Amino acid sequence: MKNIYKLILCIIVALLLVIFKDLYQIRYYKKEHTETHIHKKQIQNKENHEKQTLTNDFNEFDEIDKYLKSKVFNGNITIYKNNYSVMSKAYGFRDIENGVENDDKSMYLLGSANKFVTGLMLRELEEQGVININDNVNKYIPNFQNVYPITIKDLMLHRSGLAKANFPPTVKGLNGAIERIKFNGVVPQNYHKYFYNDANYITIAKVIENATHKSFKQNLNELIIKKVHLKYTARYDSNNHQQYMVKGYKLKNNQYKYFYPTTLDKYDGAGNIYISTDDMAKLVNQFRMKQILNESSTDTLLSQIDTHIYPSSYRYGFYRYPNHQRYRGIFFQNDFVTYSNDQYIISIASNVLKDHYQSDTENMLKHIFKDILKQKM
């Protein structure tokens, strides 16, 4: 009988120990969770306060805002000063028919400034030893060009001499684009001379795919989006971002005509990425702060001009001028321009243009950069 009582007592004690242990763990978890939440909230509040302080210290905010409103600007602008965001503002609509206003999530077709993103990816793969920029393109794309030797550096500098990119409706995707570029061949008088051409960076996109055995989209996600922690940057076919992608319009006689982008599947590497101005400014800032490429690569890209390395102002998808860098793209009524120097980064994008190739957006940026912020051009 005593043994039974002892057994029951042991069971009761064991149950009490289990109950007290569970209660302690629950209490500890709640305390830890609460403290973690409070800590995160404190960090967020501190960051918000610092951001607000920086914005308040940016004396030119009101003047820039007033200027853009006077121009009936439809788009977004983001400004970094000394590596911190001091202005991010949206104007007008990203979808006029449905009355959807622009906000900080609005994503614009990057157009030719897409080449800067491709250039960063190429340079990263060079640093990793995956691609040699002096290699013949035939090493990565068999029989690409057997008459005129073309290196990847020729493509990067727009000195390949390839015929202008021209894709009939029957051409589909990057592979189809490459076959068409091969078929069009080289224009002899442009060989080894600077001749701006989307075909060069579309070909680089295929080189990246074949060198890494991954799609261009996968490389974009791994080498750029995840590395820089970009939230509103994606290839044109990203289902998760469709709602943020702006529509491009031509404004004529107070009428808005929507231009549907029909050929983006053929423009990997040269123009089919959508990105917010916040993300673009952040990307340029991270590049300049040597967080994407190594110090040597970054310094060379930002300092060398008119040398045997870079015989013109153009390199890796952007222009390096004596006092600033320029990243420009315009495609399907989306106009995206970014200027940067040692103090400022300004990204501005518009999806309402009076004509397809016009300079209204960049002229606004020039006025802000030169006349309001007093920066040298």
Interatomic CA distance for residues 358 and 340, integer angstroms: 21
Interatomic CA distance for residues 131 and 371, integer angstroms: 43
* pLDDT given at position 49: 45
Q: What is the CATH architecture of 61-372?
A: 3-Layer(aba) Sandwich (3.40)
* pLDDT given at position 173: 97
Task: Report whether 295 contacts 289 (CB < 8 A).
Answer: no
Angle value at C-alpha 362, between 359 and 368, nearest 5 degrees: 140
* pLDDT given at position 307: 73
* pLDDT given at position 94: 97
What SS3 class is residue 52?
helix
What SS3 class is residue 94?
strand
* pLDDT given at position 32: 52
* pLDDT given at position 357: 73
Low-confidence ranges of the chain (pLDDT < 70): 1-10, 13-56, 306
Beta strand pairing call for 255-259 and 344-350 = unpaired
Interatomic CA distance for residues 182 and 166, integer angstroms: 11
DSSP assignment of 218-259: HHHIIIIIHHHT-SSEEETT-GGGGGGBPPEEEEETTEEEEE
* pLDDT given at position 79: 98
Domain positions in the chain are 61-372
Question: Shortest CA distance to 102 belongs to which of 349, 366, 373?
Answer: 349
